[in-house]
Amino acid sequence: MAATAHHPKITATMPAALRKKWAAWGQAGQDSFALVMEARKGVPAATAFEVAEAFQLQANELEAIYELSTKTLRSYSQEKKTLSVASSEKTLKIISLYNLGLEVFGEAAAFLRWLDKPAHGLDQEVPLRLLETSGGIDLVAEELTRIAYGDLS
């Protein structure tokens, strides 16, 4: 999977098994205890490239999120390694965020456009840039929830 692949509606092109896995992981991301337990098991490193494809990330954006070079991520992926607990937790939260974004915006393209523009509720920060930390992911999820409930302040 190329990190720069662009799909207007990723859910339509995602293989069924991947959609099912992401749906399950997205649910885990909504339950703090389940999130921690799943993160402790470790998420396959290859999932970082799934995240890159779904979010249409450039290599430098992927590296900023995982604090690893794409070369290292590719090596881990080829060796069937799992991500660290912290990176696994971040990945699960990002997948949950993606699922929430699809719910709020109805399609990946609209969600991805929103992610790439300064957000009023995030003090004009670009939401995509906040995905580098677990707390930033939480802030973006909170903003999506506010949007879902019509609170655009």
Provide the number of structural domains found in the chain.
Answer: 1
Query: What's the pLDDT score for residue 16?
Result: 57
Do the domain assignments include residue 43? yes
Strand partners, 119: 125
Tokens of 65: 């999120």
Do the domain assignments include residue 21? yes
Do the domain assignments include residue 2? no
Q: What spatial distance separates the first Cα and last Cα of the chain, rounded to whole Å?
A: 38
SS3 at position 119: strand
Q: Mind listing the pLDDT tens digit for each residue in 115-147? A: 999 999 999 999 999 999 999 999 999 999 999
Give the C-alpha separation, 131 to 60, whole Å: 13
Give the C-alpha separation, 39 to 87, whole Å: 8
Query: What's the pLDDT score for residue 97?
Result: 92
Lowest mean per-residue pLDDT among 20-24, 54-58, 78-82, 96-100: 20-24
Q: Mind listing the pLDDT tens digit for each residue in 30-61? A: 678 888 888 899 999 999 999 999 999 999 99
| Mean pLDDT, all residues of the chain | 84
pTM of the model as a whole: 0.81
Residues 34 and 91 sit within 8 Å (Cβ to Cβ):
no
Do the domain assignments include residue 68? yes
Answer yes or no: is pLDDT of 2 > 80. no
Q: How many CB atoms lie within 10 A of CB 66?
A: 23
Do the domain assignments include residue 9? no
Residue 44 has what DSSP assignment?
B
Residue range(s) defining the domain that contains residue 127: 16-148
